[in-house]
Amino acid sequence: MKKLIECVPNFSEGRDMRVIKQITDVIEAVEGVELLDVDPGADTNRTVVTFVGTPDEVIEAAFQAVKRASEVIDMRKHSGEHPRMGATDVCPLVPIANISMEETVAYAHKLAERIGNELSIPVYCYEHAASTPERRNLANNRAGEYEGLPEKLADPKWKPDFGPAVFNAKAGATAVGARDFLIAFNVNLNTTSTRRANAIAFDVRERGRPLREGNPLTGKIVKDEKGNPIYVPGSLKEVKAIGWYIEEYGVAQISMNLTNISITPVHIAFNEVCTKAQARGIRVTGSELVGLIPLKAMIDAGKYFLKKQQRSLGVDESELIKIAVKSMGLDELKPFKPDEKIIEYVLAKRSGQKRLIDLSASAFVDKAASESPTPGGGSVAAYIGALGAALGSMVANLSSHKRGWDDRWEEFSVWAEKGQKLKAELLYLVDEDTQAFNRIIEAFGLPKKTKAEQQHRKQQIEEASQYAIKIPMRIMKASLESMDLMEAMAVHGNPNTVSDAAVGALCARTAVMGAYLNVRVNAISIEDRQFAEKVLKEGAVINANAIQREQEILQKAEKVMEQL
């Protein structure tokens, strides 16, 4: 399993695409790195770039990008709405898969040291990579911006973590960090007033606003015994925010960095800005995502807004995304394209991997009927199981929205969500069963000239064969579990859809029996007989349970139909 980290450098150029391309070209030239997103902003004169890959390769790509930015961007000529202090203003690393934050911090320090030593650019480390608590906050590191660097670098307190304490007039300074996944999120307002936008930003951001004596707008700022301003905290934790006017769109925005979306998700931030804006006589008209967002954040947002409407949350992933986009107005300024903005979709699109479940129904059937050994019985069993879970979810959703059953919508919503989860699992197993077969074929194709090669080949065949049993076992378990949904819907769901619940049970039974046949066939070639017999015994129990449950559900469905 590969270790993956994401890098999201922000470059102080958002207008000249030729300059931006020179920077992104050096990133794409590094093998093992995938450029995911390039998001330039003309008014901010800033471009946010997102790329992901294995750690050493990401560090190399980041260094080359910082180097090229220092060559093609001259900070002496730069102006823009966004705070900045260097050609590469910030360069955060984010752990994505199979890597800890501690490891990511070590890579951040490695990158910062190289930038400082080889490019003579002062580097400050922030967030988890910070050398002191004060430097953890990016805003503290960037205070004074580019224009204040000469004075800042002369202060021993602000000696860079890496690189010389010498003003680099052309490149400025860079902040390198290690942080959790951050969402850059702008909320659009029906005003052109930066001052009013800032007031709302102060209302919501965690830091809040300075405490003043008397008049909260013009009164003297209250300071502590050390002379530091005392702040009145805002309403949202782990949120940084400022207000600005974007001439390109003719609106003011609340520009937010959501630094921990498990504490303040994007939908909560949006709703809170709506509340605070309304209190000031201002209306939110939409929002904008800068860079990428995790799929889970969009799914959670969709469910949040559906719940507010008292509608079932157990709908398809694409529908949840659509609800999230419409509810937050993410497509107000420009189209929101999920395959370009959701990180998992971008990675899947870039991988170029062709999945069986992306085929149309007729194309899948045609492929199953072809001379190709895949998709085989296991994949087809998983597909049938997914159809069964889908029917159960459909009945739950229809029951949730049935007239006169308004007080039961949550009950059916829970069932529909369970069905969607099982459907997703079974759809994943459609392709995974084919991958398991391919692993066996690849293992048999390994060289076998030497004893070492023969032993390695034998081991790989055994491992692949055992994996090829585990996949249909997962199909069996998921399909059997889905029968709980079908039984509940046959008995308690909308009576007019009882036949659909019954067909779902038939599908689940077929999926279990079909997958069990695969388990039995694959078990023949397993050398570890203890493992094989254990799996066969467990499979036989699941198979028998599925046959029994099918009959029970059909009988209950018959009783309901007799009363129609």
The residue from 125, 159, 178 where one domain ends is: 178
Do 123 and 162 lie in a common domain?
yes
CA distances from 115 to 7, 174, 320 (A): 15, 9, 42
Amino acid letter for position 272: E
Report residue 80: phi and psi, to 5°.
-175, 170
Do 187 and 173 lie in a common domain?
no
- How far is C-alpha 244 from the geometric centre of its chain's CA atoms? 27
Euclidean distance between CA atoms 41 and 147, whole angstroms:
21
Do 150 and 233 lie in a common domain?
no
Do 310 and 375 lie in a common domain?
no
Do 150 and 95 lie in a common domain?
yes
Please say whether the beta carbons of 35 and 348 come within 8 A.
no
Q: What is the pTM of this model?
A: 0.76
The pLDDT, as a whole number, for residue 198 is: 95
- How far is C-alpha 130 from the geometric centre of its chain's CA atoms? 25
The pLDDT, as a whole number, for residue 127 is: 93
The pLDDT, as a whole number, for residue 294 is: 83
Do 33 and 174 lie in a common domain?
yes
Q: What is the CATH number of the domain that holds 411?
A: 1.20.120.680
Asked if residue 422 belongs to a domain, the reply is yes
The pLDDT, as a whole number, for residue 219 is: 80
Convert 296-332 to b/e letters by CB count within 10 Å (16 or more is b).
Answer: ebbbbbbbbbbeeeebbbbbeeeebbbbbbebbbbeb
Q: Does 406 participate in catalysis according to the annotation?
A: no
Find the largest Cα–Cα distance for the chain. 88
Do 209 and 104 lie in a common domain?
no
The pLDDT, as a whole number, for residue 248 is: 87
Please say whether the beta carbons of 411 and 392 come within 8 A.
no
The pLDDT, as a whole number, for residue 32 is: 85
Euclidean distance between CA atoms 480 and 333, whole angstroms:
46
Please say whether the beta carbons of 523 and 532 come within 8 A.
yes
Do 247 and 133 lie in a common domain?
no
Please say whether the beta carbons of 538 and 515 come within 8 A.
no
Asked if residue 354 belongs to a domain, the reply is no
Asked if residue 388 belongs to a domain, the reply is yes
State the DSSP H helix or E strand holding residue 91, giving kind and residue range, or none if neither.
strand 88-97
Euclidean distance between CA atoms 159 and 41, whole angstroms:
31
CA distances from 492 to 202, 489, 509, 549 (A): 50, 5, 21, 16
- Torsion angle in degrees (nearest 10) through CA of 47, 48, 52, 56: 70
Exactly one of 39, 161, 431, 433 is catalytic; name it: 433
Token duo for residue 346? 């971008």
Do 83 and 104 lie in a common domain?
yes
Asked if residue 338 belongs to a domain, the reply is yes
Q: Domain residues for 8?
A: 4-178
By 3-state DSSP, what share of the chain in percent is helix, strand and coil, each rounded to 5? 55, 15, 30
Q: Using the structure block, give the residue that is written with the tokens 């378990």.
A: 477
CA distances from 218 to 204, 214, 223, 286, 465 (A): 20, 8, 15, 31, 75
Helices (H), 352-497: 361-368, 377-400, 409-444, 451-492
- How far is C-alpha 52 from the geometric centre of its chain's CA atoms? 13
The pLDDT, as a whole number, for residue 1 is: 53
Asked if residue 547 belongs to a domain, the reply is yes
Beta bridge partners of 126: 177
Do 118 and 238 lie in a common domain?
no
CA distances from 266 to 152, 182, 272, 369 (A): 35, 10, 10, 46
Q: Using the structure block, give the residue that is written with the tokens 């769109």.
A: 249
Euclidean distance between CA atoms 180 and 104, whole angstroms:
10
Do 326 and 368 lie in a common domain?
no
Token duo for residue 245? 């006017």
Euclidean distance between CA atoms 482 and 501, whole angstroms:
11
Euclidean distance between CA atoms 270 and 186, whole angstroms:
9
Domain total in the chain: 3
Please say whether the beta carbons of 131 and 158 come within 8 A.
no
The pLDDT, as a whole number, for residue 220 is: 85
Beta strand pairing call for 251-258 and 174-178: unpaired
Exactly one of 39, 82, 109, 128 is catalytic; name it: 82
Q: Any residues with CB less than 8 A from the CB of 507 and at least 6 apart, and which?
A: 384, 385, 387, 388, 391
Token duo for residue 260? 């921990």
How many other β-carbons are positioned within 10 Å of the β-carbon of residue 438?
14
- How far is C-alpha 318 from the geometric centre of its chain's CA atoms? 14
Q: What is the CATH number of the domain that holds 201?
A: 3.30.70.670
Nearest to 420 by CA among 398, 380, 382, 388: 388
Do 298 and 368 lie in a common domain?
no
Q: Does 267 participate in catalysis according to the annotation?
A: no
Euclidean distance between CA atoms 388 and 375, whole angstroms:
19
Beta bridge partners of 556: none
Asked if residue 443 belongs to a domain, the reply is yes
The residue from 146, 178, 210 where one domain ends is: 178
Q: What is the 3-state secondary structure (H, E, C) of 125-168?
A: EEECCCCCHHHHCHHHHHCCCHHHHHHHHHCHHHCCCECCCCCC
pLDDT along the chain (564 residues), means of 10: 86 95 96 90 91 94 98 94 94 88 96 98 97 94 95 96 97 95 92 95 94 80 86 94 92 93 94 97 95 89 96 95 97 93 81 83 93 91 97 96 91 96 96 92 93 94 94 97 97 96 98 97 93 96 97 96 90
- How far is C-alpha 459 from the geometric centre of its chain's CA atoms? 36
